[in-house]
Amino acid sequence: MKIVIIGAVAAGSKCAAKLKRDNPNFEIEIYTEDDHISYSACGMPYFIEGMVKYEDLIARTPEEFEKNGIKVFLKHKVTEIIRREKKIRVTNKDNHLVVKYDKLVIATGATPITPPIKNVKAKNVFSLRTLEDAKNIREIMLTSKTATIVGGGYIGIELMEAFVKNGLKVNLIEFSPQILPVFDFEIAELIKAHILKKEKENVNIITSDGVVEFVLENGIAKKILTQKGNELESDFVVICAGVRPNSELARASGLELGIKNTIKVNSLMQTSDSDIYAVGDCAEKTNVITQKPAWIPMGSTANKEGRTAALTLSGKKEPFEGILGSAVTRYFDFTVAMTGLTQKEAEKNCQNIITATVTKEDIVSFMPNAKSITVKIVACKDNGKILGAQAIGCGDAIQRINSIAALLQTKGTVFDLLNLDLPYAPPYSPTIDPLLSAAQIIFNKANK
Amino acid sequence: MKIVIIGAVAAGSKCAAKLKRDNPNFEIEIYTEDDHISYSACGMPYFIEGMVKYEDLIARTPEEFEKNGIKVFLKHKVTEIIRREKKIRVTNKDNHLVVKYDKLVIATGATPITPPIKNVKAKNVFSLRTLEDAKNIREIMLTSKTATIVGGGYIGIELMEAFVKNGLKVNLIEFSPQILPVFDFEIAELIKAHILKKEKENVNIITSDGVVEFVLENGIAKKILTQKGNELESDFVVICAGVRPNSELARASGLELGIKNTIKVNSLMQTSDSDIYAVGDCAEKTNVITQKPAWIPMGSTANKEGRTAALTLSGKKEPFEGILGSAVTRYFDFTVAMTGLTQKEAEKNCQNIITATVTKEDIVSFMPNAKSITVKIVACKDNGKILGAQAIGCGDAIQRINSIAALLQTKGTVFDLLNLDLPYAPPYSPTIDPLLSAAQIIFNKANK
């Protein structure tokens, strides 16, 4: 059995490693146009910040894979999948190869979207996908005083922290009316208010506006012009305007595509061709709550999908049920976390929504390190099912989202939450956890 | 409607406050032999330590209750419940009252067990129930160099931290073969090893041994003699050998008792007399996992039960489903947390147990503040149901227990856990959460 894997950041490398461990006799080859495999893309903002060493981002080197009997072909770009012959075409500099496969795993990931901005290819305009990108951004940051981030999603916020920590002044421009557009508006506003309060001097956040042009000087973006007539200057720019799945190869070979041009897969990670699998950021996901197709690329999901594909290829069937849309990041000590549906998403799936938002201390208020968090819970009034939660603040927001994620996975209700026996002690939670306070509010609203 | 409440630390005070809020016309009277009501018993170790101010332990003063129209009778000991006349007898110094009720709520709490030790009433031997006890222990601690704690449960560990932080050397004597007897043995051994490694000089832990005598000198326990012939000395002693429910009044009035002499209640907190309710540490609970009677007194549970009784008394029916046995404490920065059944408990309820224990970093290992935790998950092989989890370590153990508590509440399986979409980012969790690593091990074991 020869298994060929295209791409190996998270899903591909996990799939390869597990396959070889479970099936030492399988022949496994990885092809990637990158210089590296098996690295932490999510860790790159912390490398740029200077908190994490470059070498530490690499989970396993190609040599370690080779030692385990997995052949790794770096800088080998796959240009075509020839399904009827079960072959792929590969280009390495001027060499062209044709490689046969018994089973093919597509793990081509996602690529940053380049918005239609004039002179977007200017030398000091970056995006963040590869380790090389991270190195380049860190290099220019270290000699800069100002930066502009285009896009206020998770990576935009993480880079803003990195730059501010390194003493830069930062513009952040977000096209939506709010930063972190996946959150509900009023929650995102609380996050923005916190950042601006802390960083009045260092951060300039512009929402509902988009960059239209970089004005060049010697090939360098000198001025940044926006739709609304803002004119900004900064030493460099990073574009974090979202990503799109790398599904070109799959599409060209006639594989069925899914939502947002992802590669359609079943719960065993099989594409419409039973000899081809897709895993990670290029593959479609299922939202466990709505049971509808979804696409939220995450390293943790990529890992689960790589494992699932390896199990299927090993003859075991252990379906991957899908995602909840759980996510977390922080701005310094301020956590922003969510799971499931926001109110705006929930309203598309349930006629009758109830929500509760509670701001309260994360542990018993007399403890000296008690800090505030805001928790918003969204539920369906018709059946009491919890649909999602958002939690933000300098206190422990993540443990609350972890609880709700577990309730979502098992279709839990507000009544389950109301009864939930969370471990209690003054250094860990108040007697009535913020989640339970929110559940009480929802329960009262539901019974009106 | 006149409602009389006996005792008001957590459950009684919650019940009173909610009753009055929802029913301003109800006549509500609280009787307690204590000097205080509505205080944080769980916060007392942190007051003794010096981290929390005395005043802060009091959630609401009697004056605040009175202002809301709730009558509070401190130092009023209820001596008898006369059910057929719907009256109670009350003693305040030399005054004897008889008080009528329409509905009675028993919230008498629990009392520390006094083990059969010779001279246990010595002046420098304490137990910890009331705020006065806490004050007295703090006072003697401040002038002492050594202390002995009898009992290595949660409160024993918390007091040990308090004393060590204040520069004392501490003996801890536990009758069981392990400290924290509610945990599985090998987990408790890890906790003990951590404490001893950190506190070689300050802490002396003796297990499988019990105190038999305090040798007096001027009414003061000078020497501590144990069953196994250990002879210890210390400036004072605190006995934390567990608690028993205060169900004497209920028993004497003929109310049905439950497990461990608790007062039997249904899910609406009604006793065998439909006009009498019992809430908090004196009341029996139901274990949600086994559906069997249980008794684990907790402030968080007391709060829920107080609320439930108030709702029932207000004509609303919102049953309290019971407890999972979730608990947490810490020794300095080392968290010990659990939910559900330990392996030893699970083996009584399921023939075919699978467990997995994982030690791994709590966040991505390249992050500078990554810290180790050990997670043990217990599941039933027959149906895949998760039965319980224990998590300990200097890393974030609590968020993992919170997730498992939510899965237990909704009867989640190992397969649910394996699929669980926990929010992921390097500062919050590794790509594969310790919980998911444990789930993978269990899943592999189950499918063998």
ipTM for the predicted complex: 0.96
Query: Could you tell me if A205 and A174 lie in one domain?
Result: yes
For chain B, the domain total comes to: 3
* A-chain residue closest to B417, CA distance: A406
Model confidence at A227, in pLDDT bands (50, 70, 90)? very high
Residue at a domain's end among A239, A270, A294: A239
Q: Are strands A236-239 and A125-127 parallel, antiparallel or unpaired?
A: parallel
Asked whether the predicted pLDDT for residue B108 surpasses 80, the reply is yes
Provide the 3-class DSSP secondary structure of residue B97.
strand
Partners of B219 in the β-ladder? none
- A421·B364 Cβ contact <8 A: no
Interface of A with B in 202-231 (CB under 8 A): none
Q: How far is A222 from chain B (nearest CA, A)?
A: 33
* pLDDT at res. A200: 87
Contacts of B62 (CB under 8 A, 6+ apart): B36, B37, B72, B74
Nearest to B358 by CA among B436, B446, B438: B438
What is the C-alpha to C-alpha distance for residues B315 and A219, in angstroms, rounded to an integer?
A: 75
Q: Are strands A386-393 and A372-380 parallel, antiparallel or unpaired?
A: antiparallel
- A407·B410 Cβ contact <8 A: yes
* Residue B267 in tokens: 């899910």
Query: Could you tell me if A385 and A342 lie in one domain?
Result: yes
Q: Which residue has the tokens 């598309």?
A: A348
* pLDDT at res. B223: 97
What is the C-alpha to C-alpha distance for residues B80 and B90, in angstroms, rounded to an integer?
A: 7
CB A250 within 8 A of CB A272: no
Query: Could you tell me if B65 and B85 lie in one domain?
Result: yes
Q: Which residue has the tokens 């992050």?
A: B367
Q: Is residue A21 included in any domain, yes or no?
A: yes
Q: Is residue B69 included in any domain, yes or no?
A: yes
* Residue A252 in tokens: 């060209």
* Residue B415 in tokens: 């397969």
Q: What is the CATH number of the domain that holds B425?
A: 3.30.390.30
Q: What is the CATH number of the domain that holds B277?
A: 3.50.50.60
For chain A, the average pLDDT equals: 97
Three-point CA angle A339, A341, A346, nearest 5°: 165
Q: How far is B7 from chain A (nearest CA, A)?
A: 18
B291 touches chain A (CB under 8 A): no
Q: Is residue A77 included in any domain, yes or no?
A: yes
What is the C-alpha to C-alpha distance for residues A245 and A108, in angstroms, rounded to an integer?
A: 8
Note if the pTM is more than 0.90. yes
DSSP designation for B413: B
* pLDDT at res. A446: 81
| Interface probe, candidates B402, B403, B411, B444, chain A, greatest A C-beta count within 10 A | B402
Q: What percent of chain B has pLDDT over 90?
A: 98
B24 touches chain A (CB under 8 A): no
Interface of A with B in 427-446 (CB under 8 A): 427-429, 431-433, 436, 440, 443
Tell me the pLDDT tens digit for each residue of A338-396.
999 999 999 999 989 999 999 999 999 999 999 999 999 999 999 999 999 999 999 99
CB A351 within 8 A of CB A382: yes
- A406·B407 Cβ contact <8 A: yes
Nearest to B421 by CA among A389, A209, A444: A389
* Residue B111 in tokens: 């009392």
**Left, alpha or beta for A258 (phi > 0: left; psi -120 to 50: alpha)?**
beta
Model confidence at A220, in pLDDT bands (50, 70, 90)? very high
Q: What percent of chain A has pLDDT over 90?
A: 98
Model confidence at A444, in pLDDT bands (50, 70, 90)? confident
Q: Is residue B319 included in any domain, yes or no?
A: no
Which chain A residues have a beta carbon less than 8 Å from that of B303? 431-432
Q: Is residue A322 included in any domain, yes or no?
A: no
Tell me the pLDDT tens digit for each residue of A47-76.
999 999 999 999 999 999 999 999 999 999
Q: Which residue has the tokens 């269990």?
A: B442
Query: Could you tell me if B81 and B127 lie in one domain?
Result: no
Query: Could you tell me if B263 and B301 lie in one domain?
Result: yes
How far does CA A325 lie from the centroid of its chain? 9
Asked whether the predicted pLDDT for residue B444 surpasses 90, the reply is no
For chain B, the average pLDDT equals: 97
Query: Could you tell me if B442 and B428 lie in one domain?
Result: yes
DSSP designation for B35: S
Nearest to B405 by CA among A436, A431, A403, A415: A403
* Residue A226 in tokens: 């926006």
What is the C-alpha to C-alpha distance for residues A171 and A112, in angstroms, rounded to an integer?
A: 19
Q: Which domain holds residue A379?
A: 327-446
* Residue A197 in tokens: 């309060």
* pLDDT at res. B200: 87
* Residues A323-340, mean pLDDT to the nearest whole number: 97
- A326·B428 Cβ contact <8 A: no
Nearest to A173 by CA among A124, A214, A119, A219: A214
* Residue A255 in tokens: 């594989």
Q: Is residue B276 included in any domain, yes or no?
A: yes
* Residues B138-153, mean pLDDT to the nearest whole number: 98
* Residue B99 in tokens: 């008080």
Asked whether the predicted pLDDT for residue B447 surpasses 80, the reply is no
* pLDDT at res. A447: 75
Residue at a domain's end among A208, A239, A270: A239
Q: Is residue B235 included in any domain, yes or no?
A: yes
Of B46, B325, B409, the CB nearest to A420: B409
* Residues A114-131, mean pLDDT to the nearest whole number: 96
Q: How far is B10 from chain A (nearest CA, A)?
A: 9
Partners of B347 in the β-ladder? none
What is the C-alpha to C-alpha distance for residues B78 and B208, in angstroms, rounded to an integer?
A: 39
Which chain A residues have a beta carbon less than 8 Å from that of B335? 428
Query: Could you tell me if A347 and A401 lie in one domain?
Result: yes
- B421·A443 Cβ contact <8 A: no
Q: How far is B144 from chain A (nearest CA, A)?
A: 25
* Residue A185 in tokens: 């508006």
Tell me the pLDDT tens digit for each residue of A237-286.
999 999 999 999 999 999 999 999 999 999 999 999 999 999 999 999 99
Of B329, B396, B420, the CB nearest to A406: B420
Residue at a domain's end among B210, B239, B268: B239
Q: Is residue A219 included in any domain, yes or no?
A: yes
Query: Could you tell me if A29 and A81 lie in one domain?
Result: yes
- A419·B322 Cβ contact <8 A: yes
Nearest to A38 by CA among A71, A68, A65, A73: A65
Model confidence at A422, in pLDDT bands (50, 70, 90)? very high
The dihedrals phi and psi of B68, each to the nearest 5 degrees, come to: -85, 5
B42 is catalytic: yes
* Residues B145-172, mean pLDDT to the nearest whole number: 98
Query: Could you tell me if B71 and B188 lie in one domain?
Result: no
* pLDDT at res. A283: 98
CB A331 within 8 A of CB A191: yes
**Dihedral of alpha carbons B247, B252, B254, B259, sign:** positive
Query: Could you tell me if B349 and B293 lie in one domain?
Result: no
Query: Could you tell me if B66 and B121 lie in one domain?
Result: no
* CA distance readout (Å), B314 to A44, A107, B1, B321: 56, 59, 10, 19
Task: Sort B185 into a burial class: Cβ within 10 Å, 0-12 / 13-18 / 19+.
Answer: middle
Asked whether the predicted pLDDT for residue B448 surpasses 80, the reply is no
What is the C-alpha to C-alpha distance for residues B267 and B317, in angstroms, rounded to an integer?
A: 9
Of B56, B403, B426, the CB nearest to A406: B403
Model confidence at A80, in pLDDT bands (50, 70, 90)? very high
What is the C-alpha to C-alpha distance for residues A72 and A7, in angstroms, rounded to an integer?
A: 10
At A355, which helix (H) or strand (E)? Answer: strand A353-361
CB B414 within 8 A of CB B439: yes
Query: Could you tell me if B60 and B125 lie in one domain?
Result: no
- B405·A399 Cβ contact <8 A: no
